[in-house]
Amino acid sequence: MNDCDAIRIGLSARLDGEDPGTSVDTLDHHLSGCAECRGWLAGAERVTRQARAHPVAVPDLTLSILAAVNADRRQRVDDAARNRRQILRIAVGVAAFVQLALAVPVLFNGGVGPHATREMASFDIALAVGFALAAWRPERARAFVPVAFVLAACLTLTSGFDIASAEVQLRHEAGHIAALVQAGLLWALGRGTVLRSPRTVAA
């Protein structure tokens, strides 16, 4: 770096109101004997005056940045909700398949008290179809929730009465726990069909 370069760095700093890194006398002494640096300083002063007279407008990006943050947050929340709903759809579908697989053989084979057994099997098949429909079209799951919970509540109450009166054993009624699980899955699936947006970030 030659003397002119060092002097111009100091002159530029002085124009910006910063420490030039050398004495004012040194700068002025150099300018008095260097026409090139005087010309450079005149040009720098002209550019500085123009910049101060016509400041560049810096756009306010606050709103656009906040909008992008909110959009990203909404996307992440919606993606998580879709993933949960997909898991619930699979769970409800599996429950429907298992119930259907257990009920169809009973419908045709009967058992103790064939008429009543086949009626119960028909009821189970109808429920299985309802669960399958809810898994296929989750937006309809909420319509089945009251039916599922009423069924689960009735089975729980009747099982409790039968066990208390020693008419049946507990292990025979344990299968009714599945009705409670199915009702819970159906409720969660119906609730998950409504995607809620997160709270907007305030400016």
- Give domain limits for the chain: 3-53, 62-192
**How far, in whole angstroms, is CA 147 from its chain's centroid?**
30
The H or E element that residue 150 is part of is helix 141-164
Residue with tokens 């799951």: 141
**Residue 200's pLDDT is what?**
45
Residue with tokens 């109101």: 17
> Taking a C-beta distance cutoff of 8 angstroms, is the pair 149, 183 a contact?
yes
> Taking a C-beta distance cutoff of 8 angstroms, is the pair 103, 124 a contact?
yes
What value does the mean pLDDT take over residues 27-31?
Answer: 87
Which of the two residues, 91 and 156, has the higher pLDDT score? 91
What value does the mean pLDDT take over residues 2-22?
Answer: 84
Model pLDDT for residues 54-67, shown as the tens digit of each residue: 666 777 888 888 88
Sign of CA dihedral 50, 53, 54, 57: positive
**How far, in whole angstroms, is CA 175 from its chain's centroid?**
36
**Residue 115's pLDDT is what?**
65
Separation CA 92–CA 131 (nearest Å): 6
Instruction: Assess whether pLDDT exceeds 60 at residue 112.
Output: no
Percent of the chain clearing pLDDT 70 (strictly above): 81
Model pLDDT for residues 155-197, shown as the tens digit of each residue: 778 777 776 776 655 555 555 667 778 888 888 888 766 544 4
Determine whether 141 is exposed, middle or buried from the number of CB atoms within 10 Å of its CB (0-12, 13-18, 19+). Answer: buried
Instruction: Assess whether pLDDT exceeds 60 at residue 203.
Output: no
Instruction: Assess whether pLDDT exceeds 50 at residue 198.
Output: no
Q: Average pLDDT over the chain, rounded to whole?
A: 78
Separation CA 87–CA 81 (nearest Å): 10
Name the token pair of 116. Answer: 């009543």
What value does the mean pLDDT take over residues 30-59?
Answer: 82
Nearest CA to 186 among 126, 143, 125?
Answer: 143
Separation CA 31–CA 10 (nearest Å): 12
**Residue 170's pLDDT is what?**
55
DSSP classification of residue 23:
-
DSSP string, 40-99: HHHHHHHHHHHHHHSPPPPP--HHHHHHHHHHHHHHHHHHHHHHHHHHHHHHHHHHHHHH
- Look up the pTM and report it: 0.50
